[in-house]
Amino acid sequence: MSELLNAYWPMILVAVALGLIVGLVVFRRPKQRVTLSRTEAPVRPHMAAVEQERAVPSPAPTPAPSPEPAAASSRRDHDGGGEGNGVGDEIAAAASDVIGQVIGAPVHSNLPGSHGIPDDLQRMKGVGPKLAGILADRGLTRFDQIAALTPEEVTLIDGELGAFKGRLSRDRVVEQAGYLARGDQAGYEAAFGKL
């Protein structure tokens, strides 16, 4: 083995250097520009679009979509999450999914930006600002994400909530999130009371 390394070390060194260069080119992300809004809070480019959507009282009529190639339409961001806009993003997301499965961590499926604009988790009974913040820190910002949690994931997250330990199970937060994710307000109110 030592003889092989001595014989081929220049080729190994060149291969490692090429790998680093390719990695930098493929996974290089553009720097984000931060501008200040009127409220003095920093606004990133992807957040400005969300603020503009909230400011518009009624949606403007949308023009008919022009036909485009299938490859271009698959790259469009349909959910407003701001991810998956390039080949590097797709490769990074795929790699994080695979690595997450290997180490047993849900790394990509629960990212805040992976499904659009976050929901107001405080609408659920038993979820106040502190618990909503703890859930958001763990990447759970939408009702559909919480509703999709498996019992094992609920037990794992419940054990990490500190003072709120057991709250997800006791207050049936996953069941509440299921009703709210479906938009079933009547079913929610029948099961949990007035919203």
Per-residue pLDDT band at 9 (split at 50, 70, 90):
confident
Show the DSSP H helices in the chain as ranges: 2-27, 45-55, 70-75, 87-103, 129-137, 143-147, 151-159, 167-170, 173-182, 185-192
Q: What is the mean pLDDT of residues 175-194?
A: 90
Whole-structure pTM value: 0.44
At 139 the pLDDT is: 83
Tell me the one-letter amino acid at 29: R
H or E stretch covering 77: none
Q: Strands (DSSP E) along the chain, which ranges?
A: 35-36, 42-43
56-106 residue pLDDT tens: 444 444 455 444 444 444 444 444 455 555 667 677 777 776 776 677 665
H or E stretch covering 70: helix 70-75
Which residues are within 8 A (CB) of 90 and not within 5 positions of it... i.e. 6 or more apart?
Answer: 84
CA distance readout (Å), 67 to 63, 71, 73, 124: 12, 12, 9, 42
**In terms of pLDDT, which residue wins out, 1 or 172?**
172
32-63 residue pLDDT tens: 666 655 665 555 555 555 555 555 444 444 45
